Amino acid sequence: MSRTTINDLGAVVAVARRGSFRAAAVDLGMSTTALSQAVAKLETSLGVRLFNRTTRSVALTDAGRQFVEAMGPALEDIRGAMEAVRSHRETPTGLLRINAAPVAASEILSPLVLEFLRRYPDMTVDLVSEGRLVDIVADGFDLGVRFADLVPSDMIAVSLGRPQRFAVVGTPQYFAEHPRPLVPTDVLAHRCVRVRLPDGAIYRWHFEKGAEVVRIDARGPIILGEASLARTAVLDGIGLGFFMEQNVRAEIEAGRLVRVLDDWTPPFPGLSLYYPGRRNTSAGLRAFLALARELARGDER
């Protein structure tokens, strides 16, 4: 057991968390072969099998489950102690893992993430974009980025300062042939480009005016899995689209898209960074949060 390293123990936890050697290897930045060898080495040292492996699945054995439950918290304490020591460095260094919704990843990439890397060249950022809301602690992320109303209540949130709006748009050519909708229910008479959410549901268009809230199940000839594809379809004149304002602002300003129902799409709280309330926060995470607050204050001026 004396030859077992923290990395070997972390490898077991990563595989248990992800249920896959391939996915765990990606998280750890190592090859699947190297990860498998690390786990096999620990199993040999312990004299028990920790995982049942088939060609289709990986699952903890009873011994493996007991081992992870007992060892996992202790491993986190060791990592926390190491981060506490690293936090005394004057220059942040190391890896920062961020989980963000696709629209959030696009929003923070240039103003925040790339600026952070320019200021702290010894840091590496792993920005993972996915639609589903994950448990950032269980999945090994340092922080998440979501709209404010989706931030888990047990997390510390940092507002990015910019409110968001939806926008209903169509091309000038489309509106030359179809009347502009004046109230949300008018959308039902139009061809619309619809978007499928990560959970498989079709997104319902959300409208608000004063105390009135309306959700519309838009109708149309095509359903797409990404907003970027939907924007392409709308620009091609297929029908109306419903987007985050920042995703179509340039096309609206250039006259390639025309916005309608503007009075039914008021601003709402924007994006927030969030992270667990750990006692020992790494220097890299502290620097990233400080930059986020700095940029948010600049947006509010």
Residue 193 has pLDDT above 90, yes or no: yes
172 and 120 in a single domain? The answer is no
181 and 255 in a single domain? The answer is yes
Q: How confident is residue 201, by pLDDT bands cut at 50, 70 and 90? A: confident
197 and 62 in a single domain? The answer is no
Q: How confident is residue 83, by pLDDT bands cut at 50, 70 and 90? A: low
What is the pLDDT at residue 2?
A: 46
Q: How confident is residue 1, by pLDDT bands cut at 50, 70 and 90? A: very low
170 and 251 in a single domain? The answer is yes
Q: Domain of 258: which CATH number?
A: 3.40.190.290
DSSP state of 44: H
- Which residue range(s) make up the domain with 66? 6-86
Identify the residue with better confidence: 200 or 2: 200
172 and 260 in a single domain? The answer is yes
pTM, to two decimals: 0.56
Mean pLDDT, rounded, of the chain: 87
What is the pLDDT at residue 191?
A: 96
**Which of 86, 111, 133 is where one domain is finished?**
86
128-183 pLDDT tens trace: 988 788 889 888 899 999 988 788 888 999 988 777 889 999 999 999 999 999 99
194 and 122 in a single domain? The answer is no
What is the distance between the alpha carbons of residues 158 and 161, in angstroms, rounded to a whole number?
Answer: 9
**Which of 86, 119, 143 is where one domain is finished?**
86
What is the pLDDT at residue 85?
A: 64
288 and 248 in a single domain? The answer is no
Q: Give domain status of residue 207, yes or no.
A: yes
Closest by Cα among 256, 267, 262, 272 to 242 = 262
Helix ranges (DSSP H) in the chain: 6-18, 21-28, 32-46, 62-86, 102-108, 115-119, 172-177, 227-235, 245-253, 283-300
What is the pLDDT at residue 31?
A: 86
Average pLDDT over residues 46-70: 86
Looking at the structure of the chain, the number of domains it has is 3
147 and 279 in a single domain? The answer is yes
Q: Give domain status of residue 56, yes or no.
A: yes
3-state SS class at 16: helix
β-bridge mates for residue 52, sequence order: 59
173 and 55 in a single domain? The answer is no
Q: Give domain status of residue 234, yes or no.
A: yes
Average pLDDT over residues 113-138: 90
**Which of 86, 108, 135 is where one domain is finished?**
86
Q: Domain of 39: which CATH number?
A: 1.10.10.10
175 and 245 in a single domain? The answer is yes
257-287 pLDDT tens trace: 999 999 999 988 788 999 987 656 788 999 9
Average pLDDT over residues 55-63: 84
Average pLDDT over residues 191-212: 90
Average pLDDT over residues 212-225: 94
What is the pLDDT at residue 279?
A: 57
Residue 246 has pLDDT above 50, yes or no: yes
Q: Give domain status of residue 10, yes or no.
A: yes
Question: Percent helix, strand, coil in the chain (nearest 5)?
Answer: 45, 25, 35
136 and 106 in a single domain? The answer is yes
3-state SS class at 99: strand
What is the pLDDT at residue 3?
A: 66
175 and 246 in a single domain? The answer is yes
Q: How confident is residue 88, by pLDDT bands cut at 50, 70 and 90? A: low
Q: Give domain status of residue 1, yes or no.
A: no
What is the distance between the alpha carbons of residues 150 and 156, in angstroms, rounded to a whole number?
Answer: 12
Q: How confident is residue 114, by pLDDT bands cut at 50, 70 and 90? A: very high
The amino acid that residue 248 corresponds to is: V
Q: Domain of 132: which CATH number?
A: 3.40.190.10
